Amino acid sequence: MASGEMARREMTYTEAALEALTAAMVRDPTIFVLGEGIGERGGNFNTTKGLYQRFGPRRLRDTPICERGFVGLCTGAAMTGTRPIVDFMFIDFILDAVGELTNQIAKIQYMTSGRLKMPVLLRGCVGVGGGAATHHSGSYFPFFVNVPGFRVVVPTTPYDAKGLLNTALAGSDPVVFFESQRLYDIGELFEPEVPADYYEIPMGPPAKRRSGTDLTMITVGATLYRALEAADQLQERHGMSCDVFDCRSINPLDYEPLVESVQRTGKVLLSSDACERGSVMQDIANNLSQLAFDYLDAPPVVVGSRNWITPAAEVEDDFFPQVSWMLDAIHESIVPLNGHQLTTNPTNGELLRRKREGV
């Protein structure tokens, strides 16, 4: 290290989010966290590691397995002026509290003309879930985007995890904070470092992770990193450069940079780890078809997970989008790639072709 040069501050996604949460709890005594196993144990993924020892059981509340009960508790607590955080660990179990979420938390501010605030943060992981994948691996982005009243964020980097958590804890709206299990241990790849000081990232604008001229790639969640691999292969093998966007906030979502990119490239591929049918990516694709129709050389193409129940981790490569699937989709439905061979996992375009031909 050169004389006078400062060491780069390296943090994982988990550490960056925990740093934001710790500082917020120091600043704001009304913040408390509850969930299963998040107290003295610190959670399955260390999302609350050390907080019990620092803030005690009044602000780190371990709960029984009763999501509907403790989400209801948080609803009442928020109405009386506190700022609850629910750590579900696995986001699948948020669905056990649908009544409180959709009829109370999402609507209270509107029903009271803003007199009552609802600053509830609901966080949990999505994606790969190991042996118990069927109950621990859902990506329920479209459900919460479809419920007016929620802000929905999906950070994919340590920098964004800290900045978006700060933003979520500064507002008065309920926020669903999706975190991919694939990303908890990654370091920061896009910013110089995760700043030690407080900062916020606005909800809405997507992050542009790479610039190009031939194709727009739009992602939600951990699929970003596979899209970047696909972009590398397109550049190396076919001389195609890509704009790659990370929709770290999906409600709200600012379409202006996405439309501007599609107007330049004329081609767009969208991908996330959520099931392809009825996905947020389909909604974004539909909106882009309307907003940039005259500029598109081909319809937007969505590559999502299979429309199955999430299988065990041993077969996750057959379920979650892979780099090869993205290249297949581009070759079949957007622009032919010279010399490209389809993989054994046919994309939707190939399945439709087989169906038409009776194969």
* pLDDT per residue as tens, the chain (359 positions): 444 455 678 899 999 999 999 999 999 999 999 999 999 999 888 999 999 999 999 999 999 999 999 999 999 999 999 999 999 988 888 889 999 999 999 999 999 999 999 999 999 988 775 545 566 777 888 889 999 999 999 999 999 999 999 999 999 999 999 999 889 999 999 999 999 999 999 999 999 999 999 999 999 999 999 999 999 999 999 999 999 999 999 999 999 999 999 999 999 999 999 989 989 999 999 999 999 999 999 999 999 998 888 887 778 888 889 999 999 999 999 999 999 888 865 555 555 555 455 54
13-183 with 207-357: one CATH topology?
yes
pTM, to two decimals = 0.91
Sorted by where each begins, the domain ranges of the chain are 13-183, 207-357
Which amino acids are annotated catalytic? 136
Q: Specify the CATH number of the domain 207-357.
A: 3.40.50.920
Q: How far is CA 222 from CA 46, 125, 183, 306, in A?
A: 19, 11, 7, 16
Count CB atoms within 10 A of the CB of residue 330. Answer: 27
Q: Return the SS3 of 107.
A: coil
* Residues forming beta bridges with residue 125, ordered by sequence position: 90, 179
Q: What stretches of the chain show up as alpha helix (H) in DSSP?
A: 13-27, 51-55, 67-79, 98-100, 108-111, 133-136, 141-145, 158-168, 223-238, 256-265, 280-291, 323-333, 348-357
- The H-or-E segment that residue 350 falls in is helix 348-357
Span between the terminal Cα atoms of the chain, in Å: 62
- Give the side-chain half-sphere CA count within 13 A for 298: 19
d(CA 248, CA 174): 17
The fold of the 13-183 domain, in CATH, is: Rossmann fold (3.40.50)
- The H-or-E segment that residue 219 falls in is strand 215-220
- The H-or-E segment that residue 125 falls in is strand 121-126
Q: 25 is written with which tokens?
A: 């709890």
d(CA 117, CA 27): 19
Q: 168 is written with which tokens?
A: 């979520």
- The H-or-E segment that residue 75 falls in is helix 67-79
